Amino acid sequence: MSADSQRLSTLAQAVGQAGSRLEERSWERALDVQLTKLLKTSHQDTVDAALNSLFAADLTAYDVLMDSVEAVSESATITVETYGAPVQYDVLLVAAPILAWTRYSIASGAIPADVLNTLSAHFSAHLLADGTKLAMASNLFSIDQLPRTHAETYAKMHKLAQAAVKGVAVKTDVKSPETAPFLADTRYLIAAIVAPAGGPLFRWQMPGAHLHQADERRSALEAWRAQATPTVARLLPGCGIELLLPEAYYMACREADKLIRPVSIRAAVHYLTHTLACEPADLRAVIAGFGEESADGQVDEYRVAFTRRSDTDVIYGVVWPLYGQEDEEGTPPEGPLAGGLANLLQPRTPIEEIVEHLSEAGVTVVKKLSERYIAEYCDDCGAPLFADPAGELVHAEMPEDAPAGTEHFH
C-alpha cells in the first residue's frame, strides 16, 4: 500500500480501538480530513487499496473506513461568503428512489425543466426543514448511471451544493450511458440539501417533531408520495411505480436494492402469465443458492427459475441478491425491534421471503434445491444461468411461439 493508504488503515483501526467517545471522534475527524483530501483529488485507488487491505485483515476497521468514506462523499460542511462574512452550511446528498415495473421499458435521462421545478417544490414542501435550500439533478438516473466511485459521488455532492447555495439550475449531465431494460428496476432522483450548520435537514428533525419523529417521517413520506407520484408517472409512462422515502444517498440506494427484489418477482409472474396466456398456478418456481467458487460455501444470491408446471424448460429467471448480513440464518431486522418481536425471535430466511412473494403472486409449486452452485453466466450474452427442476444449470429462454418482449433478467 501507498503511504496514504496505510494512513487510512491506521486511522480506521484507531477509531475502532478508541476507549471513549471523545477519542473516537478525534480519530474520526483525522480520518475525515484525510479522506476529503483524497476524494477531492480523485484518488479513489488509494481509498480502494486501504479498503481491500482491511477487508482481508480487520473487518471492524474495514466497516469504520467504509462508513467514513461514504459519509465524507455524501456529506460536508462548506463555508460561503455572505455579505463579506463567512457562513457555514451542512450539505447532504440525498437519493429519492422510485421502484418501477412494466412489460415495456423503464425510462431514464433528462427531466424537463417544468417537471424538475414541480418535483423540487414538492420535495422542499413535504420533506425538508424550514430554512434549507435544495438543488436537484436534472436527470432521472438508473443504477448504472449513478456515480460509480466515492470520488464521483463527492464531486456530484459539491456541484449540487454550489447550485443550491447560489439558487441556480443544475446543467443536465452529459449523455448518460444506456441502461439495460428490465421488467422491474429502480430509478433515482438525486439532490443536495443545504442547511445552516448544525440545523435540521428534514421536517422530522425540526424541534417540534422530536417527540414523534417516526410519525413525522411517515407523514412526510405519505405527502411526498401523494404529491409527487402523478408528476413522476409522467417521466415513467406505462410503468407501475412506488416512491420510497428520500434519504442519505447510500442508505437510500441500499434500501431500494432490497425493496426492488419482491417487485421483480411480481413483475416476472405478471409478464409470464400475460405473455403465455396462463395462470400463475400453471407456473413452477425453482430456487437455488449461488456464490463465488472461493467463498467457502457462502450464498451471495438466490436465482429463481420459472418453468411451466407441465415441463422442465426454464423460460425466465430472476436474481435475488443478498446484502449486508443477510444469509441462510435470516435477515436481521433494521433498527430496534423492526418488524416486531416475532421477527427478532424467528427471522425469516431469504428463501422463506422468496416463497412468500411467489405465493402472494399465485405461484404455488416451488422447488428449493439444497445444492449451492457456482455463479455462472452465459459465455455469449452474459445472462445468469439458472437451475432447472433437475438441478442442471441452463439458459432461461422463452418458448419459440411466445410473443417478443423484454428478455432481460433482474
Give residue 384's pLDDT: 92
Does one domain contain both 291 and 243? no
The answer to whether residue 344 sits within a structural domain is yes
**In terms of domains, do 23 and 91 share one?**
no
66 and 88 both lie in a single domain: no
76, part of any domain: no
Please check whether residue 410 lies inside any domain of the structure.
no
Q: Are residues 344 and 320 in the same domain?
A: yes
107 and 201 share one domain: yes
- Please indicate, yes or no, if residue 269 is contained in any of the structural domains: no
Which tens digits make up the pLDDT trace of 189-216?
A: 999 999 999 999 999 999 988 899 999 9
Are both 95 and 213 inside the same structural domain? yes
pLDDT at position 285, please?
A: 96
Last residue of a domain, one of 71, 99, 118: 71
> Structure pTM?
0.88
pLDDT of residue 410: 43
Identify the sign of the CA torsion 310, 311, 315, 321. Answer: positive
Asked whether the beta carbons of 201 and 124 are under 8 A apart, the reply is no
Say if residue 321 is exposed, middle or buried (CB neighbours under 10 Å; 0-12, 13-18, 19+).
Answer: middle
- pLDDT at residue 132, rounded to an integer: 96
**Domain C-terminal end among 27, 48, 71:** 71
Residue 188 lies in a domain: yes
Q: Are 12 and 61 in contact (CB under 8 A)?
A: yes
Number of domains making up the chain:
3
Q: What is the dihedral of CA 233, 176, 41, 191, to 10 degrees?
A: -10
Indicate if 104 and 217 belong to the same structural domain: yes
User: Quick check: is 49 in a domain?
Assistant: yes
Concatenated DSSP letters for 207-252?
GGGGGGHHHHHHHHHHHHHHHHHHHHHHHSTT-EEEEPPPEEHHHH
Q: What is the pLDDT of residue 333?
A: 44
Identify whether residues 156 and 247 lie together within a single domain: yes
Residues 124 and 245 in one domain: yes
119 lies in the same domain as 213: yes
Residues 233 and 289 in one domain: no
- Please say which residue of 71, 95, 113 terminates a domain: 71
Q: How far apart are CA 201 and CA 161, in angstroms?
A: 13
CA nearest 104: which of 400, 399, 405? 405
Domain presence at residue 206:
yes
Domain residues for 204?
83-254
328: burial class by Cβ within 10 Å (0-12, 13-18, 19+)? middle
- Distance (Å, rounded) from C-alpha 312 to C-alpha 284? 9
Residue 106 lies in a domain: yes
Kindly give the pairing relationship between strand 283-291 and strand 301-308: antiparallel
CA distance 284 to 308: 6
Give the number of other CB atoms < 10 A from CB of residue 376. Answer: 12
Burial 105-128 (b: 16+ CB within 10 A, else e): bbbbbebeeebbebbbebbbebbb
Same domain, 39 and 90: no
Q: What is the pLDDT of residue 170?
A: 80
- Which pLDDT does position 405 carry in this prediction? 55
Give the residues of the chain that fall short of pLDDT 50: 330, 332-338, 406-410
